Amino acid sequence: MRAVVCRRYGPPEDLVIDEVPDPTPRPGEVVVRVRAAAVNFPDVLLIDGKYQVRIPVPFTPGSELAGDVVAVGEGVNLAPGERVSGTAFVGAFAEQALLPAEAVSTIPDGADYAAAAAFGVAYRTAYHALRSVAQVAEGDWVVVLGAAGGVGLAAVDLAVAMKARVLAAASTEEKLEVCRRRGAEATVDYDREDLKSRIRELTGDGARVVLDPVGGPYSEPALRGLGRGGVFVTLGYAAGAIPAIPLNLVLLKGITIRGMEIRTFLGDHPVEAERDMAELRAMLADGRIRPYIGARFALADTPAALRYVAERKSIGKVVIEVD
C-alpha cells in the first residue's frame, strides 16, 4: 500500500510517498481502508520533532481518518465493509491504517467520509474544553482565538450549539466571514484591532471564557479582556510561541487558567470523556454540527496540505482524500 513516511524530522517537504506492507490486525485491532484523513497542526509539529512527544522515525503521520473496515483481529465486534472513523496518534496518511478497536466507531448515517474524518480530534478537543473544562452555560460569552482553524471553528460550532454567545477572533476578513456564517455573534480581526479593548466593548466586559489554541501574542490581551472570574483555556500554540502570562492579572481578576490536551484527557477524565463523546456523536448524527471542510488534497499532495496548515492558511478542516 501507499503511505506518507517521515524518515527524518523536518518540514513537510521532506516527507515521501512510499510503498509499505499492508497492516495485519492482532487481537483487538482493526485495519481500515482509509477514504479520508484530516490534517491537524500537531501533525506539523510531530514531523518536525517539536511535539510534546517524539515519535521515532520512520513513521506515517496523521491522527484522524474515516474509511471502511477491511480486516479485524480476534475479539473485535466489527465486520468488513462497515463505515468507521477513528483516531490514532499516527498512521492516518496512508491507504490503510491499523488502529485499536476502541479507537474506532461507526459513522452515523448522513455523515460522509470527509466529515467523519474531520470530526474527531478538533471537535473532541473543542467540546471537552467547552463542556468539561470551562463548563460553558447558555448565554455565556465565549471568545475563540484562531476561530477559523480546525479547533477554533469546531469551538464556534459547538458553542453556538450550546447556546453560548460567540466572539470569534481571527486574522482576515475571509476567515471572520466564515465564522459569522457559522453563527458567531461578534468578530475581531486580532491582527488589525486591539483585541483586549474589542473583547470588552463587544461583550460589555462580560466574556466568561477564552479558548486559545493559538498562543503567541494573542493570549495576554485575550486574558486581559476576560470578565472577573473568567476561565482561560490554553489548547495549543499554533502561532509558534508559548506566551508568558503575568500572574498578577490572574490574581486581580480572579481568573482561572486551565490546560486541556486531547492526548491525556481520556485517561485523566474518563467519565467526562465518555459523556462528551456520546453527546458529540448525537450532534453529528442529527446534523446539529457538521465540520467545515476548507480544503481537500490528494494523498500524494500531503506535504502541500501540511504546509498549508503550518502557514495558517486553512479555514476549518483540511482533508486528505485517499483514492
Cα 275 to the center of its chain, rounded Å:
18
CA–CA dist 61, 58 (Å, integer):
10
Residue 159 grid cell: 458553542
CA–CA dist 89, 110 (Å, integer):
27
Q: Which residues in the chain land under pLDDT 50?
A: none
- Residue 249 is inside which H or E element, if any? helix 247-253
pLDDT at 126: 96
Question: 173 by DSSP, 3-state: which?
Answer: helix
Contact 66, 111 (CB under 8 A): no
Residues 6+ positions from 141 with CB-CB distance below 8 Å: 164, 165, 166, 167, 203, 206, 207, 208, 209, 227
Q: Which of 248, 292, 41 is nearest to 158 (CA)?
A: 292
Residues 6+ positions from 124 with CB-CB distance below 8 Å: 87, 262, 276, 277, 280
- Residue 232 is inside which H or E element, if any? strand 231-234
Phi and psi for 308 in degrees, rounded to 5? -60, -45
- pTM of this structure: 0.85
- Residue 60 is inside which H or E element, if any? none
pLDDT at 48: 96
pLDDT at 144: 98
pLDDT at 111: 86
Phi and psi for 30 in degrees, rounded to 5? -135, 140
Identify the structural domains of the chain with CATH numbers, from first to last: 2-110+287-321 (3.90.180.10), 124-262 (3.40.50.720)
Q: How many residues are given for the chain? A: 323
CA–CA dist 87, 301 (Å, integer):
21
pLDDT at 288: 86
CA–CA dist 153, 266 (Å, integer):
22
pLDDT at 247: 94
Taking each continuous run of H as one helix and of E as one strand, the counts in the chain are 10, 15
pLDDT at 238: 84
Q: Percent helix, strand, coil in the chain (nearest 5)? A: 35, 25, 40
Rg of the chain over all Cα atoms, to the nearest angstrom: 19
